[in-house]
Structure 1
Amino acid sequence: MSSIDTQVLESLLDMLEGDQDVLAEIINCYLMESPKIIAAIQTSASQGDADNLGKTAHNLKSSSASLGAMDIHQLCLELESKGKNGNLAGSLELVSQLINEYAQVEIDLKKLLQSFSCTPRYL
């Protein structure tokens, strides 16, 4: 899983005392909510809404980092900064990279869910 830092996921699983069901729920929530947030980021960037861009990128940044999606975290950090600074130059290119990276993260997280002993709801 090149799009996911497995050490971050292992640390999260350790914090959950090895409970794959809880981790699956966290991943499912991420997979259900992230596309909505990415759509809001895309809309904000295309409409030049710097304030909303910063806020929505911030929302996705933390949840992505907690699941080891560090490239998404980094892209959101850059988008959040652009939103806060009101300088949206290059933001559409970053959003395009974000969309592409999320597609890979989604694939990798779904594969991970399939490897769990529980039955994930997202699939």
Structure 2
Amino acid sequence: MAPVALSTSYLTGSASLGISMTTLISFGTSRPVGTRSSPMGYSLASLPGGGRIAEKGRKDTGKAWSPHSEPVAGRARQAPAKAPELHRHRPGAPAMADAQLDPKALELLRMLDRDRPGAFSEFVRMFVHEAPELVKKMEQAQAAGDPDALGKSAHYLRSAALAMGATGLVDVCHSLEHLDAAQLSGPDMPVRMDELRRRTRDALILLLQEVPQI
């Protein structure tokens, strides 16, 4: 299967975003007590109406995944999650037939937008800008045989994807988050990485359809 190309060339400009990716990640995940906080120190609660939405988000989306802390050196690595079923695109079949966004996550983002007009578009723009960079880091980590670097980038991308309702991308990232060095060179890794690229591309396209003015 040929790799799926990722591009952000359709974005206009590269102005600095007003909300960091860390804020988006904090919207998509509730960290267990005792795990490390996001390095930038931002949280959804810092935004107008964010505390109420964050609480609703924890209740509505917290069951969608089993939370894991970021990979920490010296900690026993958990058994890797079972890889999601990988969908090979058939010639002539719709490329995004199985791609969709979680309606509950989209509603939470629209709630935030009502309290802070323009926030939804800003979150989408931020995700579209930074998700391909995280995928690139994951590709580099896999090529270098660095499971910790791969796991860290997969963790951040998974959390952000959960906030945006990209459940297919969440599943793929979860399957890559706790691999060991031997698995990074396994025979199934090319297919896994192709699926990561495809799911990321699908999420970007669907989100841009939600806010076409970007």
The answer (yes or no) to whether the contact 1:13–1:20 under 8 Å persists in 2 is no
Q: Distance in 2 between matches of 1:110 and 1:40?
A: 23
SS for the counterpart of 2:211 is: helix
Structure 2: distance between partners of 1:20 and 1:99? 31
Q: Check whether the contact 1:42–1:92 (CA below 8 A) recurs between aligned residues.
A: no
Shift of 1:112: 0.9
Q: Any runs of at least 4 consecutive aligned residues in structure 1 with deviations exceeding 4 A, and if so which?
A: none
Count of matched residue pairs: 113
Whether the aligned pair in 1 keeps the contact of 2:113 and 2:120 (CA below 8 Å) is: no
Aligned to 1:101: 199
Judge conservation of contact 1:8–1:67 (CA < 8 Å) in 2: yes
Q: Please report how far the alpha carbon of residue 72 of structure 1 lies from its aligned counterpart in structure 2 after TM superposition.
A: 0.6
Q: Could you tell me how far apart the structure 2 residues matched to 1:3 and 1:17 are?
A: 21
Q: Distance in 2 between matches of 1:20 and 1:60?
A: 25
After TM superposition, the score normalised by the length of structure 1 is 0.81
Matched with 2:170 is: 73
Deviations 1:26-68 (A, max 9, x none): 1100000001000111111122111111111111010000000
Residue of structure 2 equivalent to 1:4: 101
Match of 2:154 among 57, 64, 68: 57
Provide structure 2 residue ranges, at least 5 long, that are not aligned to the other structure: 1-95
* Percent of paired sites with the same residue: 25
Higher helix share goes to which structure?
1
Gaps of 5+ in 1: none
Question: What SS class does the counterpart of residue 118 from structure 2 fall into?
Answer: helix
Partner Cα distance (1:91, 1:73) in 2:
17
After superposition, give the CA deviation of every residue in 1:1-50 in whole Å (9 maximum; x if it has no partner).
93311221112322x16245101101100000001000111111122111
Counterpart secondary structure, 1:93: helix
Structure number with greater Rg is 2
Between 18-27 and 73-82, the greater mean CA deviation after superposition: 18-27
Cα distance in structure 1, aligned partners of 2:137 and 2:189 = 13
Quote the RMSD (CA, aligned, Å): 1.8
Structure 2 CA distance for partners of 1:78 and 1:12, relative to 1, 3 Å: same
**Do residues 31 (structure 1) and 128 (structure 2) align?**
yes
- Mapped to 2, the partners of 1:25 and 1:103 lie a distance apart of 18
- The DSSP-based 3-state class of the residue aligned with 1:81 is coil
